Amino acid sequence: MAQPVLGVVASAIVMVIALVFIALFELPTFLGWVSFYNLCLIPFQVMAVVLWGGANPSFVAKLSQPVKGLVMLLVTLVVAAVAAPLAFGSVGEGVSPPDMIPTHFVILAVPTTFYLSIVWGGWPFTNLFKNSIVAGLALLVASYAITYVIFQLFFDYSFLQGAPIYLQSAPQGMFNGVTALVFYVTALAVMFIVLCFDLWPLTTVPGVMKQPVLGLVWTVVILVGAAIALQIGVVSMGIDPMIFFTRATVPFIFGSIVVLNMLQNSLFAKMTQPLKGVVNVIAVVVIGVALSNLYGALAPIVTGPLASGPPGYVYEVWLANSLLSVTFPFLIFYAVYLNYWPLIKPNH
């Protein structure tokens, strides 16, 4: 089985598994500890895929599928089991189950790890530590540390004062916590836009294509892109930030994972940039919105009736978690850790 058929079949299989997994839990449990823990899977997973190629230490790389994939899955589960209580203890005040504020923190750690791993290419950790395992773990720790600083400086949850979910230790930074979250994750969507273009036009300037210059330039691009997106969608068009998040940002990120990772950027492989990037982005939007709407249509069957919009945004929170805290890591587990086993032969 070859791409893009391989990616389509694999994505369909994983999405069925993800929806069955979601259906196992009552709504409060799913939106509480289940989603919180699953979000803690992703930073290690991103680092392991980008810096370790999905198999480290070296003895793991020598294993055959599905043992190789299962070993990496087990390691990821253990790391998340350590990270989740540490993150919860740092920002959650021990109030169980974790609600909006600690959940926002673990959400933020995901794009931070993406930025350090992809935008910055692992710099400076891969320079400081020759051992890739040490470099990767250092990057992971730094991701959470940087996230904590960003969380404290830029996120403000004073609008929740008086609400049951408010925490006295909640940061009172520069921006509304929900809007800041939408901005930070939308920057991740812009990162995927750049990947759709294979980093064009940055690739036309050789001096930019080396770290840390690439990291600096790419960071500016994604921050400016996110600012433009929110200016248009939230400020000019007056779209509720959570609606913008779940109707635009989340579907685009999910569509990007399918097109760039599951289909291995194979849809328009024969095209050249920038045309390839344009059609890639169109495909990402169409696929992401279609799958998001599919999940939305299945929500009443999988979980039950969900209220949309303020004040609780239950449907929006369910959709974001279903796509990005469950299906997204499941897709990467299968495509990278298991290398599509058994759809393709292990030696491939």
pLDDT tops 70 at residue 347: no
Predicted pLDDT at 31: 97
What percent of the chain has pLDDT above 90?
93
Residues 262-289 pLDDT 10s: 999 999 999 999 999 999 999 999 999 9
> What b/e sequence results for 220-236 when a residue is b if at least 16 CB atoms lie within 10 Å of its CB, and e otherwise?
ebbeebbeebbeebbee
What pLDDT sits at residue 162? 93
Q: What is the pLDDT of residue 53?
A: 85
Peptide bond before residue 201 is cis, with ω within 30 degrees of 0: yes
What is the CA angle 182-184-187, rounded to 5?
105
Q: Taking residues 123-134, what's their average pLDDT? A: 94
Q: What residue numbers bound the domain in which 60 lies?
A: 5-337
Instruction: Kindly report whether the global pTM for this prediction surpasses the value 0.75.
Output: yes
Structure tokens at 309: 């919009």
346 occurs within a structural domain: no
Average pLDDT score, the chain: 96
Residue 167 in domain? yes
* Domain count of the fold of the chain: 1
For 203, which DSSP code?
Answer: G
Domain assignment of residue 156, yes or no: yes
- Residue 348 predicted with pLDDT over 70: no
Q: Is residue 55 included in any domain, yes or no?
A: yes
pLDDT attached to residue 57: 74
Q: Is residue 189 part of a domain?
A: yes
Specify if 136 maps to a domain: yes
Least confident of 57-66, 244-253, 334-343: 57-66
